[in-house]
Amino acid sequence: MRTILAFYDTDREYGGPEEGGWWYDTGTFVRVIGLYFDEAEAIRSQQRANRLLERLQRHRTPVSSVTYTGGRHRALAFTGLPPASFPEVRPTYS
């Protein structure tokens, strides 16, 4: 089975007013960065890419900040085609 590694531009969306308000992480597809036929290798590459991204983005405003204006990225692995955005379905409060 193949695993695709992709970059996503991350953000936060307002979920609703329950319990004083809640937010959830979102992401928009940027580009594919790798195709792997070994899932373990794909996971190692994802972890390596995210460590490098954290180092490169350490001076950027965190996604959880009110002043965040974009520009942070995250690498994610998928066994099928990567979705255009995540989550595919808006979460609900439970």
pTM: 0.85
**How do residues 25-51 score in pLDDT, each as one tens digit?**
999 999 999 999 999 999 999 999 999
Cβ–Cβ < 8 Å for 4, 78: yes
**How do residues 52-68 score in pLDDT, each as one tens digit?**
999 999 999 999 888 88
- The rounded distance, in Å, linking the Cα atoms of 36 and 81 is 12
